[in-house]
Structure 1
Amino acid sequence: MQKLVIAIASVLAMLCLGSGVIIGYFVANRSPVAPPNRVKRSCDQGGTFTSAAVKGHLDTCIAGCREGACQADSCEIPLPRTYVAYHLQGKTINLDGRIDEEAWSEVSQTEDFVDLRGLKYTKPRFDSRVKIRWDNTNLYVAAFLQEDDIWANKTLHDSKVWQDNAFELYVDTDGSTHNYKEFQVNALKTTWDLLLTKAYIDGGQADSSWESNAQIGLYTDGAVNDPNSNNEYWSVEIALPFTQLRWKTLQANEGAPKDMDIWKIVLARPEWGFQIVDGQYVKDESVEASWWSWQPHGAVSLHLPDRWGLLQFSRGAVKSTSFTPNEQWKISQALFDVFNAMKKYHGVFGLYTDDKSMLDLPQYLLTGYCVEIPQISLLDSGFVVSISSKNRALQGHIRADRYLWFGDRATGLAKV
């Protein structure tokens, strides 16, 4: 009996290896991969064997066969952190920084911030939580920032506020990753607001001439810049006009968001070390800041728009809805996956390729089951990737400078 079990296990191992080689061959030759539900069924057929030895080997084989197949089968692309912002529906917010109105108490807060590099790093020593509301004019953001010692140096508007302990907000209203907005504020209520033409890594420039026209309320639990003060936290309320947030975007004339619209967003704070010298706070320039963010980025950079969290607007009753991904977000994420694979290939070989078999792509992009298989065009300026929804009703594109748009392919090329 033992010999029979070993023989069956050996045959199954050969079959699993052979199927892997065959699948790999077809992927390498850019033929459509078998629909993942078929892969799942063919692997699961082995469940009829009862021998523990054979079943153990089959479980290993099935796990190998199904690597990446679950995502491709369900089309459930992993979400970053998400937050649903509810319309105020006539409620008001007094911008005093205290975050004590009913408009705030009735909504949920974000998850605590984490190390910007990722969840495997040490948990931040201070809590940071945010709530967001909106009306037909403004986006309202309230941030609670735990802090034992509240100090700040920057007093001039549009100075580099991030060089103090500060709260930062980044917003990409149209998902293009270009002309996104950045807002910073410290405990002295000093602000820096700027427009980024695109991410620095893509050759972008900061434009500090953009003004957010924000209204701000700030509260500090104790005095600022006083080491003898018993501080516990500071908090800030910000009202940002939609007209300013949308400036120079594809939606510049649209005003308030529509129900269930999705924006990409970053919420973050730098935390600097300090010394107390002659009774005053002195920033410790010898130590790099800790960077804490609502959504981890996998690197010490906030300017990676494809890794931001997602904000969804709701006109429903408070806490009546949950975040609902739309087809546009699904295509955007698929475009980012191809974009990152293209950049990875370029980093190794110094050029781009339209051969998808040479790219490190997630399986769901190669089946044609979740979205249409990506189309890659090589250009003098780099490349354009195009992906359509399964019903072909929606088509998105992304360029080598990370500019992402929907609709006519020529629209984005005209903006190069």
Structure 2
Amino acid sequence: MTEYRSDLLRLLEARDYIHQLTDAEGLDTLAAKQVVPGYIGFDATADSLHVGSLVQIMMLRRLQQAGHKPIVIMGGGTTKIGDPSGKDESRKLLTAADIDANIASIRRIFERFLTFGDGPTDAVMIDNSEWLDDLEYIPFLREVGPHFTINRMLTFDSVKLRLEREQPLTFLEFNYMILQAYDFLELSRRENCLLQLGGSDQWGNIVNGIELARRIDGTQLYGVTTPLITTADGGKMGKTASGAVWLNPDALSPYDYWQFWRNTQDADVERFLKLFTDMPLERIAELAALEGAELNESKKILADEATAMAHGADAAKDAAETAQKTFEQGAVGEDLPALAVDSGTIGLLDAMVELGLVASKGEAKRLVRGGGARIDGEKAADEAAVVTVGEAPVRISAGKKKHGVLTRA
């Protein structure tokens, strides 16, 4: 483990956030002597971010905890183009009104994790459309264009992936990496922003911004990336059989959010406690050392802490109590409709109708075909599925928000 002097890099390393640093010694020296404004950009392609963005949100939280200034950049401008990174096809273009509504919704998420205000270490949220929308094409090309070669741009993964798979990459999207680099330059000018944080897939874009600022303004900027966060089985963080794990309670209930963390694989508990909670490292080590059934208690603590941070302590408490009543005591949580099954088996479509999750079997069929019906968290693929109810209750879900419990009569 590297011996850093600054609280910032010590904190990031101790909690396993650091994958790459552009200039570790320079950033460490800077962060040890002054407040460092740092930013991460988020495109507003939906009205909520999901758990796949949570490690970046937590990086900004750590930045603030270490006495520095988080800058949340909402991509009101870049969302009009779409980040081609990790995509095989172009994103759907949104209207300006859609983007504005998404940004307003996403801000509420950040207010759970960061302290906003006017102080030197208070977080601020800025929309990059403030400068990108007003760019004049020819002056922009003359200032920025000479510092990017097509040869180098073709080596970036976001471009290579499309070309290797013979998927079209529009000239619109090809501009994205230039505009992201320009964001860093503009933020260094406007906000004295010296640091960009991001996932490992953003390394090339971060380096581009650093190089652009050095060449045009002679400014020294820095970059830090996190490792790609995957689950122990190699799956992508935040992707489940039932879809994305959204951070907005309107898109995913706090109960389902709690259940996501409760279902963490054994091998991921310690890492996720470090990344996604504020628990002291000593306590995390104690919880990670538990084995067997005792490790389940660690998972519940992870679920409690993560849910409280995203949705508030009351929501976390309610979710934990509902889970305990439903799945541990064999009773039915007050928040969930219940149906006692006399025969021990019931058709899935009938169950959904009788629980009041859907209005008709036709609606239930459409939900199954669309992948929105689940039995104990697993996607139901067959309209003719029969649910067997034993001693333990069985949870039936219709979409992200509607849930019910089957019990044995």
What TM-score do the two structures reach when normalised by structure 2? 0.24
The TM-score with structure 1 as length reference comes to 0.24
Q: Which has the larger radius of gyration?
A: 1
The structure with the greater share of residues assigned to strand is 1
